[in-house]
Structure 1
C-alpha cells in the first residue's frame, strides 16, 4: 500500500455493549444495544441501532448484539518482531542479554514488522510505538529501515509511532567503550569495534534525519503516523546529546519516549555519576514535560515520582519485561496515587513470548494487587485505560483515538460475548471484568482501524498472513552462514568480559527484592526487621 492510499471506512457496527472509556470518577462509561456509525474513519454517532441506521442502508454492516466493542489497544513500547528467544538468545539480566542481540540473524525489516503486527492486530492492538533499536551505517540505510517499517504498518493497517534509539556513549557497559575495548582479545575487539563505529552517528545528523522523516511521513499520513524521539537511556546519552534531542522535540512538537531506571544498575549509575537520581538529573537538564514518556521506571523512588507528576510526564509500564529479565516491578500504584498517566508496553515480547496485549493486561492487573484489604488497586477499567487512552497519548494520538466517542477515530475491537462467557457468566459480573479476565485473542472477532476492517474471524485480512509467516520460516530455517557462526563465536568470547565488568560494577552479593517490596523495606528499616546493610541501601535507592 502506498502512503497516499486512504485507509478509512464508512460503516455501521452493532454491539450489545460498548466500553466507551473511563470517566473522571474512575467508572467505565458504557452504552448498550447500540450501533456505531463510522464516517470518514471517525465515529460519527453512537445510539440505538434503528436511529443510527436510518437513511444509511448503503453502509456496510458489521457486528451483532453478541458483540462487546472496546477501543483498539495500544502497545506503547515495542522494538522488533522475531523475538530473541526464537533466535536462540535465552533470558538473562538486561545487561547480559542485550549484547547477545548482535549475533541474532538479520531479518527483512518488512517481514519482521509484519510478523509482530499480525500478533498485535489479532489480539486487538491497533496502535504501536515502534522503537527501532538504533540506526547504523550510511544515511540511506536509515531511510530504508524507517520507510520499510512504516510501509509495513501502512500495508497491514495499523497506526504507528516510529522512533529510533539514540546513544552517544557507553554502548557495551556503563563505562566508556574505549576502556572496555582495551580489555578484549584482539579477535573480539576487531569484530565488535567496527559495529560500534557504524552506530557512532553525530547527533546533529540524526536530528536532521528525524526532521526529514517527520516531514515526509507525517505530511503523507497525519491520521496514521507519528514520528517521535527516543533518547535511549541516561547512561547511553551525554548531557549534550539529551539537550539536543529535547530541544528538537520542543521545536517540532514531538513526543519523547525514553528508557529510564529499568534496572538497579541504572539507578546506581546515576547516583555514582551525578550524586542524585536519574530523574533529578533529567529535571536539572529541563528534559521533563507533558510530551515525555519514561519507559520502565522499575527503580524510581517516591521523590522521583513526585517530580514526574509535577512535570506532567507519562510512564510506560512494561510488566512482562521486568519480570522475565529480573529487572523489577514498577511501582504502578505509587504512580497512580500521584495521578501519573500509565501506559502499557509489551517491549520485546510479553510473558508468552508474543504480542498479546490482552494477556499483558491480565498480568498488570494481578501484579499490582499488593497485600491488604483496602488497597487502592487498579481495577479492570483502569487497566483498560492504560492500554488504550493513556497509551494513545504517549504515542502522539491523544484526543484522536483511545476512546469510543463521536469525533474520535473508529479504532474498534469486537469481542464475542459468547466466547468470553462460555459456558456462562452471571449477569451480575461487570462486563469490563469479563473482558479483562476472560476475554482475549480467542474472543477477538473483528478489528477496525479508522473504520476499516483489518481483522475478520480473528485473522488479519489486509495481507496474506500465511505467506508472510511461511517466508519468515523459510528464511530462519536455512543453515547458518559462516559469518553468522563467527558472530556467535565472538559473542561467546565477549560475554565473559562483559560479565567481569558487571561483577566489578556491582561487587555486592546482589540480591534485592522487587521494587515495591524494596519500598516496603524503607518503612521497616528502623524496626530491626531487615538486614541493616540491605535496608540502608534500599533507603538510598528510594529516597529514604
Structure 2
C-alpha cells in the first residue's frame, strides 16, 4: 500500500527521453516517486491510501525558479520606470535596509512563497538575502513547505561596477562578518527541514567585492559543498567596468576569481559576449534567464538561443517584486518563448518544449538537486504539480506543453506537492494562511512606504 497515486493524467516526465505518457499515473511513497507508468499498468501493481483523479490534466515536475528575491515581494511596484542603479540606490535597497522592521522580512518571504506555490514553483534559488532579517525569512520558507537554496549577501566594497558608493549605507556589510554569518547559517540551516533548505553564498555584483574576497568565498563554498550565485553582465556598465579594470570579459573574470563550477548560477547574462558562452559550458555552470526583469529595467535581452546553441545550461527565473512584479514562472515561460522569436525574426526559436526544459530539469541542474528533482522518475523526490488547462483562457488542449507555455498562468495550477506533501490542493494552500498574510501585507506596505517618506501613486490626477 503506497501513500498517494496521481492517476489518469497526461504525464510530462521530463526524463532523459522527455517521454509524455498520455494516460499516466505517478505513484508516491513517503517523499519519493515510487513509479511512473501508464495508468493500466499502475492499477495492476499498486493500491494507495489516497488517489487523485487527474483526468484531462497535466502532471509534471514542480517548476524551479533559479533567481528569486524573497525580501522584495513586499515592495512590489515600488520603483517603476527607473534605471538599475538609481532603482537600487534610491528605492529597492533603502526599502529593505531602512524601512523594514522585525517581521517584515518573514512576511515578504511568505508572500513570495504563496505566489510561487500557487503558480507551480516548488524549488527556488534566493539570490541575495541581507543579514538583518535572513533567519526570519528562512523560517517563513520552512513553514511554507517549499524547497530553496538561500544565499546570504556577501560583499566587501560598496560599489556597483565603476559607480562608487552605489550600495547605500543601510545595505553595506563588512566582508569578514558576511562570511562568518554564512558559515553560521550553514551550520544551523543547511540541510534543515528534511533537506529542503540549502544555504548558498550570494556574491554581490562585480564592483561589490575584491578579487581576493571572491576567491575566499568560492573556496568556502567548495569546503562546505554548497553553491553560489551572482548577478553577472546584467547591464552594459558591468562589461565596461570589467574591461577597464581587469581587461577581462565577465566569464574570464569569473574564472579568474574561481567562481565557476556546476554549483554556480549566473543571473541575467544580458551582455555576455559569445566567447563567454564556451567558458560557461566547459565549467558546467548555469545561466539564469530573467526576461521580465531585464525588459522592465531596460537592461536588454540576453542572447539565450545563442547560448543554447553552445550547449549552455540555461534555467529560468522571475527575479523580484520591483523588477518583475510577479513570481509566476508560467508567465515567465511565455515571455522567454516569445521575445527571442521577435529579436531574431525567427518563429522557430525557443519552442515550448525547450522553455519547459529550462523551467524544470535545467533549473534543477543549476541547484545541484537534479539527482532528486526536475523530472518525474522512480527514486526522485515527489515535487510535482497538477495543471488543469481546460480553462477558458487555455482550452482546447492539443499539445499540453504548448498550451501551458503560451496560454497558461498561475490559475491553471490546481495541486502542488513538495517532498511528498500536498502543499496546495484545489487552489487551497495548506501550509500558510493566505487570507491572514494578505491582510498583513496590505497593512504593512503603507507603513513601509511611510518610513521612507514615499508616496507612490498613479501619474494621473485623482479627483
User: Residues of 1 paired with 2:382 and 2:119: CA distance?
Assistant: 17
Corresponding residue for residue 39 of structure 1 = 29
Per-residue CA deviation, residues 322-356 of structure 1 (Å, 9 max, x unaligned), is 10001111110111011110011111149861111
Hey, what's the Cα distance between the residues in 2 that align with 1:420 and 1:340?
A: 37
| 1:446 equivalent in alignment to 2:442 | no
Gap regions ≥5 residues in structure 1: 1-8, 136-140, 182-191, 490-544
- Measure how far apart 1:216 and its partner are: 2.2
Q: Deviation at 1:484?
A: 3.0
Deviation at 1:86, TM superposition (A): 3.8
Give the whole-Å Cα distance in 2 for the aligned partners of 1:151 and 1:235. Answer: 31
Q: Summarize deviations over 1:104-141 as a string: whole Å, max 9, x none.
A: 23161221101011111101111111123432xxxxx4
Match of 1:301 among 256, 265, 273: 273
The aligned residue for residue 114 of structure 2 is 118
Q: Aligned ranges for residues 520-535 of structure 1 at < 5 Å? A: none
How far residue 374 of structure 1 moved from its aligned partner, in angstroms, is: 7.0
Two-structure CA RMSD over aligned residues (Å): 2.6
Q: Which moved more, 1:364-373 or 1:439-448?
A: 364-373
Alignment partner of 1:16 out of 5, 9, 28: 9
Aligned to 2:86: 96
Q: Does 1:460 align with 2:429?
A: yes
Question: What secondary structure is seen at the aligned counterpart in 1 of 2:14?
Answer: strand
TM-score normalised per structure 1: 0.76
Residues 185-219 of structure 1: CA distance to partner in whole angstroms, max 9, x if unpaired?
Answer: xxxxxxx65x36xx33133x333332232232234
Shift of 1:393: 2.1
Equivalents in 1 of 2:418, 2:74: separation in Å?
A: 29
Structure 2 CA distance for aligned equivalents of residues 422 and 381 of structure 1: 17
Decide whether the 8 Å contact of 2:77 with 2:321 is kept in 1: no
Aligned to 2:459: none
Structure 2 CA distance for partners of 1:374 and 1:358, relative to 1, 3 Å: closer
> Based on CA coordinates, which of the two structures has the bigger radius of gyration?
1
Q: CA deviation at 1:379?
A: 1.5
Given that residues 149 and 367 in structure 2 are in contact (C-alpha distance below 8 angstroms), is that contact kept between their aligned partners in structure 1? yes
Gaps of 5+ in 2: 456-463
Q: Give the CA deviation at 1:77.
A: 0.6
Q: Does residue 164 in structure 1 map to residue 142 in structure 2?
A: no
- The number of equivalent residue pairs is 448
SS at match of 1:152: helix
Query: Matches of 1:233 and 1:62 in 2, distance apart?
Result: 46
Q: What is aligned with 2:174?
A: 201
Q: Assess, with a 3 A threshold, how the Cα gap between structure 1 residues 415 and 208 changes in structure 2: closer, same or farther.
A: same
Report what 2:100 is aligned to: 106
3-state SS of 2:5 partner: strand
Deviation of the 1:455 alpha carbon: 1.2
CA shift, 1:421, in A, is 7.5
Matches of 2:392 and 2:353, distance apart in 1 = 17
Decide which moves more: 306-315 or 466-475: 306-315
- Residue 49 of structure 1 and its aligned partner are, at CA, apart by 3.1
Instruction: Find out whether 1:239 has 2:211 as its counterpart.
Output: yes
1:262-301 deviation line (CA, Å, top 9, x unaligned):
0001110111111222221222333322222111110100
Q: Residues 298, 82 of structure 1: CA spacing in aligned structure 2 closer, same or farther, 3 A cutoff? A: closer
Hey, which bits of structure 1, 4+ residues long, moved more than 4 A?
53-58, 81-85, 370-376, 420-423, 478-481
2:113 aligned counterpart, secondary structure:
helix
